[in-house]
Chains A and B, each alone.
Chain A
């Protein structure tokens, strides 16, 4: 299991928290909640080691659109980058409903 952390700049506060997904083979859960400061923080725990570059690419793309000051935790059981992108977008959608 590998742990990965990243910080991204944010422009606005996050109001509601959201939880989506299941730590099931090929899937992941995402917990999104308001962060204390003015940045967004991402904490990843993944069962598959050695894919730090792929995670960074997914997050770079996600944060090119998302500007909320969120604390995001991802518990991953081998989801593909596509699944990661979908789960992140689903978490944002759930938190902004």
Chain B
């Protein structure tokens, strides 16, 4: 990623972050090839939210689209971060799982179908706790099935980021793409602060939060495959590139020994800062196991 932006570039760029979930999903497809499955007029909404006094959204904050990306068959599932924090409930989870299973079925029949997941999510929706947890377990199973046949690409553009159980889904992906604005982590900063105190993690210290969870750090430590500027054509180009690459020789989550050895070699008796980790865990070392 080059970061030599002039103010003119900044003004003229087409922000991807400012798009809603439906616009984000549409933007990724080759023009005129996409169609939405189970859209808002199908009215498949969460049956649990209204009971708890929360207004449901007709698509449950999950947009599923099918079409072509760079000429390849693809399905895109976009979570709407503005609705209930992009959280995964029974319906949104089932929609994403079904989309992955559809891609798997097509891939097995001879049409490799890439899945692109746009993750703006805090993880499980608390109002549907157990069903949300079950949904994430099912999702992980479906990602593992599909990724043998076609790449599963996760994109977190921001500004919600990707946390909780959905970070595990991102961890299983063939490729992960982020912007500087996005964050990726298992426990969100507020959760860590709440559970272990402000000395452990000060969630109001944004510089600290982004230095640890932010896209730039995740890319520099090899946990993410591409860092893109928040500009729609550049985001689209990155996704097209990974769709074209196909299934990676080795998935990141299969490199168990690499990551174990990294943690083993870390001297935990002292506090490491994010910049030191970048030199220790370079992006290069993450790809060592791939060749």
Contacts and interface: CB of A to CB of B under 8 A. Distances in A.
Given A45-B50, A76-B55, A77-B55, A22 B83 contact: yes
Interface in B39-65: 39-41, 50, 53-58, 61
B80 interface: yes
B254 to A, nearest CB: 37
B57 A19 contact: no
A75 B58 contact: yes
B266 interface: no
Interface string A40-64: 0000011100000000000000000
A50 to B, nearest CB: 13
Contacts of B39: 19
A46 B41 contact: no
A7 B68 CA distance: 42
B20 interface: yes
B198 interface: no
Contacts of B83: 22-24
Nearest to B49: A1
Interface in A5-59: 17, 19, 22-25, 27, 29, 31, 33, 45-47
A47 B53 contact: yes
* Interface bracket on B: 10 to 19
Given A1-B50, A45-B50, A23 B56 contact: yes
B134 interface: no
A72 to B, nearest CB: 13
A75 B55 contact: yes
B280 interface: no
A19 B41 contact: yes
A77 to B, nearest CB: 5
A15 to B, nearest CB: 15
Nearest to A75: B55
A25 B39 CA distance: 21
B55 A46 contact: yes
Contacts of B55: 1, 23, 45-47, 75-77
B56 to A, nearest CB: 7
A31 B40 contact: yes
A12 B53 CA distance: 36
A17 B80 contact: no
B50 A29 contact: no
Contacts of B20: 22
B291 to A, nearest CB: 44
Nearest to B84: A23
A73 B55 CA distance: 12
Given A22-B20, A47-B53, 8 more contacts: A17-B41, A23-B57, A23-B61, A23-B83, A31-B40, A31-B41, A73-B58, A76-B55
Interface of A: 1, 17, 19, 22-25, 27, 29, 31, 33, 45-47, 73, 75-77
Interface of B: 20, 39-41, 50, 53-58, 61, 80, 82-83
22 contacts: A1-B53, A17-B41, A19-B39, A19-B58, A22-B57, A23-B55, A23-B57, A23-B61, A24-B83, A27-B82, A29-B57, A29-B58, A31-B41, A33-B41, A45-B50, A45-B56, A47-B54, A73-B58, A75-B55, A75-B56, A75-B57, A76-B55
